[in-house]
Structure 1
Amino acid sequence: MHVNSILQTEKLTLAYGEKIIIKELDLSISKGEITVFIGGNGCGKSTLLRSIARLLKPEGGSVLLDGESIAKLPTKEVARKLAILPQGPDSPEGLSVMQLVKQGRYPYQNWLKQWTKEDEKLVNNALKSTSLMELKDKAIDELSGGQRQRAWIAMTLAQNTDIILLDEPTTYLDMAHQIDILDLLYDLNEKENRTIVMVLHDLNLACRYAHNLVALKNQRIVAQGKPDEIVNAELVQQVFDMQCVISVDPIVGTPLCIPYGKGRSAVTV
């Protein structure tokens, strides 16, 4: 196990029925970093994330959490260490923001230990961190897409885990709300040292926010590392089958992918 690794896969093979999605994959995720999975549709990004969260049983190999096989850990113990926000989660009709966020404290409840002041504090902190305190009594289904996504993230924060997994947290959001959500996650990493692992479709946003990129293609990792060390035109061609020019993001200095297709030729200056 790597010294700073908090999550690992060893020879991990994942499948749906007879179709192999991920094959004998070795991956190490460092503690206190933002790791982003990138790749084309159907490459296994979400499947890999689900397996790391113990939502999908491997066909072979294993997932390690703090050096222990996650398959052998009690469910509530896993939920105290790791929270996952799946893509497009659904909530019961009429559920309020406060009621949803309180669900994050479920792993800490049992017949001996009911709701405590600590639970109340963590729920309120989660609402404040996501700027939802004023909306706490509002029904989830009455919120905008960005507000709803923040409510689900607040629930994962209330769970108070060191690791947060998110499957395409910016899907269906406009550009402004995408940046809001990613800025929030970046702050959680910077200020609270949360380890964040997420799937993103937008390569430029992935480069801007990730400490570590994992590029997937054909059931395996084709590149892994810091965005400015691995992202180039050849990688984009290999992973996304797309021609591009790589420039520099003028705001943060990370790689900026400028694609060009077959419909328009490049402008000569």
Structure 2
Amino acid sequence: MHSLSAKDLTLGYGETVIIDGLDIEIPKGEITVLIGGNGCGKSTLLRSLARLLKPKSGNVLLNGEEIAKMKTKEIAKKLAILPQSPVTPEGLTVYELVKQGRHPHRSIMKQWTKEDEDAVQQALESTNILHLQDRAVDSLSGGQRQRAWIALTLAQQTDIILLDEPTTYLDMTHQIEILDLLFDLNEQKGHTVVMVLHDLNLASRYAHHMVAVKDKKIYAQGTPEDIITCELVHDVFQMKCNISCDPIFGTPVCVPHGKGRSVGANQKKRAAI
């Protein structure tokens, strides 16, 4: 199983520094979720781990080797990334999209093989979209489309999968479907999954390991049960809250303070009338 880490990593755009001197080691075979306020650098960090962004200084290490010095195809055989809101070429079918995941394993001289076809079919089956393989991707629902993109990453047959906000723009049902799928891939096939999520409660439910980013550094990291506290939510998200326990899963649940409808107050109002 492949390892992924970063040492003294500094990232930014132009003169602006987003991440400064950060060290991180991604636990093998677990689900790691990056959390933090808007603009804190979560997506920037994820892109750097996939070598989509060149560091200002420091190194990203894949199996202890500097990823900057590795060949692109060599990286793509070990690590796959699904960016936020990927754009699908018009008219491309699900099968044609997922087939592109085999690109790192192919060359100009190499014909399409049974191994390639098996990898595509397994990816379609794992994401439960085999019956959609002849449909145009742009004709699918949001949840189906996201499954197709995840199938593409699975067809790469990498140990490590990085996902930038994979539940964005999805309704609650499709959010759970996608996260359940990623959870099953981790549980059944041992994929190391790293993703950015905004929903703190869903992140706590699915993550084995969480990394909270604030002020260009790692503010805290560990299991959700160890790090999700009222203090962390206040410091990282500038929000007061209560932390309770999910009655089904036993994971932390954040209940924000703020204005809202009071059931007790409404009952009293109706009684007065």
Q: Shorter-chain TM-score category?
A: over 0.9
Corresponding residue of 2:105: 108
SS at match of 1:258: strand
1:33 and 2:20 equivalent?
no
Q: Which whole-Å deviations, capped at 9, do the CAs of 1:78-112 have from their partners, x for residues lacking one?
A: 00000000000001100000000000000011023
Corresponding residue of 1:208: 205
Corresponding residue of 1:15: 12
Give the count of matched residue pairs: 265
Corresponding residue of 1:171: 168
Cα distance in 1 for partners of 2:208, 2:110 equals 38
1:76-115 matches, cutoff 5 A: 76-115=73-112
The structural deviation recorded for 1:51 is 0.2
The structural deviation recorded for 1:260 is 1.1
Structure-2 change in CA distance of 1:225 and 1:257 (3 Å)? same
Tell whether the 8 Å contact from 1:260 to 1:266 is kept in structure 2 after alignment: no
Corresponding residue of 2:271: none
Residue identity opposite 1:6 in structure 2: S
Residue identity opposite 1:213 in structure 2: M
Match of 1:70 among 64, 67, 70: 67
The structural deviation recorded for 1:114 is 2.1
TM-score where L is the length of structure 1? 0.96
Corresponding residue of 1:154: 151
Cα distance in 1 for partners of 2:188, 2:210 equals 21
The structural deviation recorded for 1:268 is 8.8
Tell whether the 8 Å contact from 1:5 to 1:28 is kept in structure 2 after alignment: no
Residue identity opposite 1:12 in structure 2: L
Match of 2:243 among 231, 242, 246: 246
Match of 2:181 among 179, 184, 198: 184
Structure-2 change in CA distance of 1:267 and 1:19 (3 Å)? farther
Tell whether the 8 Å contact from 1:96 to 1:137 is kept in structure 2 after alignment: yes
Tell whether the 8 Å contact from 2:2 to 2:159 is kept in structure 1 after alignment: no
Corresponding residue of 1:218: 215
TM-score where L is the length of structure 2? 0.94
**Where does structure 2 lack aligned partners over 5 or more consecutive residues?**
266-273
Residue identity opposite 2:237 in structure 1: F
CA RMSD of aligned residues (A): 1.6
Match of 1:120 among 110, 117, 122: 117
Structure-2 change in CA distance of 1:28 and 1:5 (3 Å)? farther
The structural deviation recorded for 1:135 is 0.6
Match of 2:129 among 120, 128, 132: 132
SS at match of 2:77: helix
Structure-2 change in CA distance of 1:219 and 1:194 (3 Å)? same
Residue identity opposite 2:47 in structure 1: R
Tell whether the 8 Å contact from 2:2 to 2:78 is kept in structure 1 after alignment: no
Residue identity opposite 2:54 in structure 1: K
Tell whether the 8 Å contact from 1:5 to 1:30 is kept in structure 2 after alignment: no
Answer with 1 or 2: which has the greater Rg. Answer: 2
1:144 and 2:141 equivalent?
yes
SS at match of 1:206: helix
Residue identity opposite 1:234 in structure 2: E
